[in-house]
Amino acid sequence: MSVARRLRIAGAQMGPTQRADPRAHTLGRMIALLERAAGAGAKLVVFPELAFTTFFPRWLIEDPADLLACFETAMPNPGVQPLFDRARALGVGFCAGYAELTPAGQRFNAAILVAPDGAVLGRYRKVHLPGTIAPRSGARFQQLEKRYFAYGDQGFPAFRAPAALGGAITGMLICNDRRWPEAWRVLGLQGVELVCIGYNSAAYDPNGGQSEDAALRVFHSQLVVQANAYMNATWAIAVAKAGIEDGSGLIGGSCIVDPHGRIVAEAATLEDEVILADCDLDQCRQGKTKMFDFAAHRRPSQYGPITERAGVIEPQGPD
Amino acid sequence: MSVARRLRIAGAQMGPTQRADPRAHTLGRMIALLERAAGAGAKLVVFPELAFTTFFPRWLIEDPADLLACFETAMPNPGVQPLFDRARALGVGFCAGYAELTPAGQRFNAAILVAPDGAVLGRYRKVHLPGTIAPRSGARFQQLEKRYFAYGDQGFPAFRAPAALGGAITGMLICNDRRWPEAWRVLGLQGVELVCIGYNSAAYDPNGGQSEDAALRVFHSQLVVQANAYMNATWAIAVAKAGIEDGSGLIGGSCIVDPHGRIVAEAATLEDEVILADCDLDQCRQGKTKMFDFAAHRRPSQYGPITERAGVIEPQGPD
């Protein structure tokens, strides 16, 4: 049976989710976005990182019960089941970020990929955790991902989606991962055709500098998605949680990018918004078989430092 | 002694060099570009890949003497000495691509970095050779780099330039290398602050496809330089040989890119043209110590496939 390789995908950008918002309210927004996307013919809908909650790593949460309330102990679970049910009824797949608490008590910043028939195709645990373990004194907003989450421990798996999703070889990245070409390349080495990304990115320099504003941070976000999509000959969709969340600004700039690195759809607001594109997965083919024919052109013997060490070793001077 | 870290650099884009052009003519053009850049205050001038010749890999050259005439058996040598002499007299450093023939008879697509005092700071041999070994039958223009050159065998070395060049940690990439994030990352892992790139890139799809025109290929070229400069928090300068060379079109689009990935200078022509920018090397510092603090944020244990294999292994299906 031949598989239709042309697939309409949707990004479900979300406006802010305040810490006080009830889960049912947030889930209702997500279902409304899902329905809007499905009504427009989308077969796959991508939601942001930590889609079910506010971006809670901005807060130092000292009460363990308050922290655990942000996490999902299973996926699906009763608090998200209506989204899974509605997606299955509509026959659309989806990808969504969530905070994962394992039975062993490990916490991950995770994402899940669900097929149109409700089957869980795969899960990804964020590898590139930004921020710090200890809160920064005097900072109005923290970035405590390194405190609340363990580093993803299963690499960057790609999953072959079913025929209803064009058989797309699909990967997931979460927020900061998109700035790391290693993450994209490990997906590229699995022949990835669609990379689904959710993010919560501050609209100011989250590291305390004064040199980055919202426009520059949207530029950075789109630049890395565009270039890494091109260099791996894949479609990519990057979806924001945007707007003023708990008093802290988040960029929008959600976009869908083709295997040439061109933006083909882009969000115009900082609110709940659906973006759509028809993605011909076979457009990945030229890049994968010519310019980026990895087997023909990559030279792993020259890449040793990439896996041998994490940090910088500067060269000696000429004097 | 404190080192001035602000450095004016120049890209010396070259218009086409025909196969029949005498070496002295080409060298005269390069010296004129060097003088123009030095007159504008540049301390470092970057020339294209294979700057002294036409892009000869477009031809199947069957006579060994004709092929060897394209190569330099030493650097400098009498055929390029006037450029070295003029640069030293003007007190400017430069980087230039050339075809290297070693005493042992190995051939490389190489680049050299020369200090303002004439000292050779370093040499790079291109790792990512595009094209084919065997000529493609029926093609009007070949891409025979894999036939004429050995793969670079010394990785991606970075060199610490002298105080006259701001002490910049400097790397070189050649043409197709710029599309491979591994090359940039190995430089980034050496703390690179300035990446000098020369290229000869076809203004049409060199792999025989019909989907790429000159505008798209300039977009690709700039996109990868911008994103990889950002992801490695480095200045970058990418310099074309441009225009109709031996009947074959080459893109221009030479540009200088800051550590945020922004183009700060760009060529407007397909001719001999100097582009200039004042590069504050200390602007690399924010990226290197915050967002792209590699020691704090990279996770080499998850990057295994990048050095374990060259090519793609696709995942199994869900059925």
* pLDDT tens digits for range B50-72: 999 999 999 999 999 999 999 99
Residue with tokens 């007190």: B91
Distance CA A92, CA A238 (A): 18
Distance from CA of A267 to the nearest CA of B (A): 21
Domain extent, residue B176, equals: 6-308
- The pTM score is 0.98
Note whether residue A209 is domain-resident.
Answer: yes
Note whether residue A50 is domain-resident.
Answer: yes
B317:A169 CB<8 A: no
| Residues of A forming the active site | 49, 126, 175
B126 has catalytic annotation: yes
A167:B317 CB<8 A: yes
A160:B188 CB<8 A: no
Note whether residue A316 is domain-resident.
Answer: no
Size of interface A-B (CB pairs under 8 A): 246
Q: Which residues in chain A have their CB less than 8 angstroms from residue B317's CB?
A: 160, 162, 167
A184: domain CATH number is 3.60.110.10
Distance from CA of A73 to the nearest CA of B (A): 25
Reading the block at residue A116, the tokens are 């149109």
Pairing of strands B273-280, B6-13: antiparallel
- What ipTM score was computed for the predicted complex, to two decimals? 0.97
Q: Would you say residue B82 has pLDDT above 70? A: yes
Show the DSSP H helices in chain B as ranges. Answer: 23-39, 64-68, 81-90, 145-148, 181-188, 214-231, 284-289, 294-297, 304-308
Q: For the residues A126-141, what does the mean pLDDT come to?
A: 95
B302:A223 CB<8 A: no
* pLDDT tens digits for range B258-314: 999 999 999 999 999 999 999 999 999 999 999 999 999 999 999 999 999 999 999
Looking at residue B210, its pLDDT comes to: 72
Of B43, B70, B126, B279, which is the active-site residue? B126
Given A121, A286, A317, which is nearest B211 (Cβ)? A286
Given B129, B313, B316, which is nearest A189 (Cβ)? B313
Q: In what order do the strands lie in the sheet with B194-199?
A: B158-160, B169-174, B194-199, B235-240, B255-257, B263-266
Distance from CA of A196 to the nearest CA of B (A): 17
Note whether residue B64 is domain-resident.
Answer: yes
Q: Which residues in chain B have their CB less than 8 angstroms from residue A158's CB?
A: 314-315
Number of separate domains in chain B: 1
Note whether residue B14 is domain-resident.
Answer: yes
* pLDDT tens digits for range A247-288: 999 999 999 999 999 999 999 999 999 999 999 999 999 999
Show the DSSP H helices in A21-106 as ranges. Answer: 23-39, 64-68, 81-90
* pLDDT tens digits for range B112-135: 999 999 999 999 999 999 999 999
Note whether residue A93 is domain-resident.
Answer: yes
Note whether residue B48 is domain-resident.
Answer: yes
Mutate: best of A182, A255, A284, partner B, most B CBs <10 A: A182
Note whether residue A315 is domain-resident.
Answer: no
